[in-house]
Chains A and B, each alone.
Chain A
Amino acid sequence: MSGNDDIATIAEELPLEALPLDAWHRARGARMVGFAGYHMPIQYEGIMAEHAWTREHAGLFDVSHMGQLSFSGDGVDDALEYLLPSDIKGLKPFRQRYSMLLDQEGGILDDLMVSRLGDEAFDGAAIYMVVNGATKYDDIGWMIENLPDAVVMNHMADQALLALQGPEAGEALATLIPETADLLFMQSGPFIWRGVPLWISRSGYTGEDGFEISIPADDVTLLADALCALPQVKPIGLGARDSLRLEAGLPLYGHDLSPSVSTIGADLGFAIQKRRREEGGFIGHARVLKELADGPGAKRVGLKIEGRLPAREGAQIYAGDVLVGEVTSGGFAPSVAAPIAMGWVSLPHAVIGEKLEIEVRGKRIAAAVAPMPFVPHRYRRKV
């Protein structure tokens, strides 16, 4: 028996680093794998059980591998509006937005979360950003190149990041920090827990209600222990994080998004607000304008698969004899109880309900373009 596409065998070239919770994960029986340059927990008791737990209760994810950055200095909003296609000037204090870094050709260098701090966190910086772990050093290099000298970017490598996700995340976190109950989806703010300063946003990447909590690395073990002592909370590994985000229709950078694709094709146009589309003034604007006018060549779509055989990343998608696309993420969806996939399909075939075939080990399996998310989002929005 041998893995032909086993996440556990994807070797990193550099020696792997340990995250602040490394010993904590191992003590809880995590199976550790190399991911984004770190030893990370892929699972504890099993992906299916952890996935189900998160959909029903609350799961704690260690996402400390992600890059946490702060920005300050004169002209920071203008500088970030050059780097990002999103409306930064209109971003109110304590609000968060999904955005991305684009290259000169409009290709996606990374996707990220950006929020406006309220002068009370991270040494009074103006803007807080969370970027993907695997891309953070490239992102930093790219931003240094494209930021004016007056804007200071700080990589907060001494901050850990936890995500608490699931329908019981709200009540769980409120038992430790009652004030977090007031946060709504994509709102954030500074909080104090046992004297430790936290920056908490109501957001995540599972489709469920939940939070992302930035905390000094020295204090993260204490918080992880306190959260997992609650009856609603269990630690969850990377494996379930991937199946949860796939069901939620959320793209994973390096798989569903890459420099070869653009925002409009990726169906992420919502990240570029009207003013930014019209005025431009950001790197990659020409591609966005062109694809808004002429349509992208291909689109990111959801795929529902008939039968039980999963189609994985790299599987080719056909309409009859014609190759029309490729699966970029795929696997068995525990909450759907069927295989699902995300892929890029040429525009004429990227229509909900379009019947296609995916080639898996020389066999064609039936699939149809499906609306995403596959499992409804349950964010806590205004009531």
Chain B
Amino acid sequence: MSRYFTEEHEWIDVEGEIATVGITDYAQEQLGDIVFVELPVEGATFDKGDDAAVVESVKAASDVYAPISGEVVESNAALEDEPALVNSDAEEDGWFFKLRITDASELEGLMTEAVYKKFVAAL
């Protein structure tokens, strides 16, 4: 399994043709206390860069983009009852949705963990 990162502070785990998407620990830290996550419905299809989810902190709403194109196969139901999971475990249990990848070549432009760490350190 490989993990990729975007400049929009999302992480993507790829296993076969399925990509699991969440926001990074840096992102949740910036957002502060998360009180609601609006997730995409199963079967929704996105092009890379489409609005896919919305995360609401106490103060503000922020869009989460589809980091790659695909069809939603599952959303994280646990976030409905416990949106704060995104704060406590952003990069594991706080995942947002799973996509069936339509164009694996889109992964090529994404960052590795080491590169993302450097990217964040420079912010």
Contact = CB atoms under 8 A, between A and B. Distances in A.
B62 to A, nearest CB: 5
A243 B60 CA distance: 12
A323 B123 CA distance: 43
Contacts of B60: 3-7, 312
Contact of B38 (A42, A46, A309): A309
A309 B38 CA distance: 8
A2 B8 CA distance: 7
B64 A310 contact: no
Interface string B41-66: 00000000000001111111111110
Given A308-B35, A308-B83, A1 B65 contact: yes
A342 interface: no
Contact of A310 (B35, B62, B63): B35
Contact of B62 (A2, A42, A51, A332): A2
Interface residues of A, number: 26
A188 B83 CA distance: 43
A148 interface: no
A197 interface: no
Contact of B32 (A1, A4, A5, A46): A46
Nearest to B7: A1
B23 A47 contact: no
B25 interface: no
A239 interface: yes
A95 to B, nearest CB: 35
Interface residues of B, number: 23
A310 B65 contact: no
B61 A47 contact: no
Binding site of B, secondary structure by majority: helix, strand, loop or mixed? strand
A242 interface: yes
Contacts, number: 69
A120 to B, nearest CB: 41
A34 to B, nearest CB: 14
B36 A4 contact: no
A49 B33 CA distance: 9
A43 B64 contact: no
B58 A7 contact: no
B3 interface: no
B8 A243 contact: no
A382 interface: no
A221 B20 CA distance: 48
A238 to B, nearest CB: 9
A1 B58 contact: no
A4 B27 CA distance: 14
Nearest to A48: B33
Nearest to B67: A1
Given A5-B61, A332-B56, A43 B32 contact: yes
B36 A1 contact: no
A333 B56 CA distance: 13
Nearest to B27: A1
Nearest to A6: B60
Contact of A242 (B54, B59, B61, B83): B59
Return the 3 tightest CB-CB contacts between A and B, nearest first: A332-B35, A48-B33, A47-B58
Given A239-B32, A339-B35, 18 more contacts: A1-B9, A1-B10, A1-B27, A1-B65, A2-B8, A3-B61, A4-B62, A5-B61, A46-B33, A47-B57, A47-B59, A51-B58, A239-B59, A310-B35, A310-B56, A310-B61, A312-B61, A361-B54
Interface of A: 1-7, 42-43, 46-49, 51, 239, 242-243, 308-310, 312, 331-332, 334, 339, 361
24 contacts: A1-B9, A1-B23, A1-B27, A1-B62, A1-B63, A1-B64, A1-B65, A2-B8, A3-B60, A4-B61, A5-B60, A5-B61, A6-B60, A7-B60, A42-B59, A43-B32, A47-B58, A239-B58, A310-B61, A312-B60, A331-B58, A332-B35, A332-B36, A332-B56
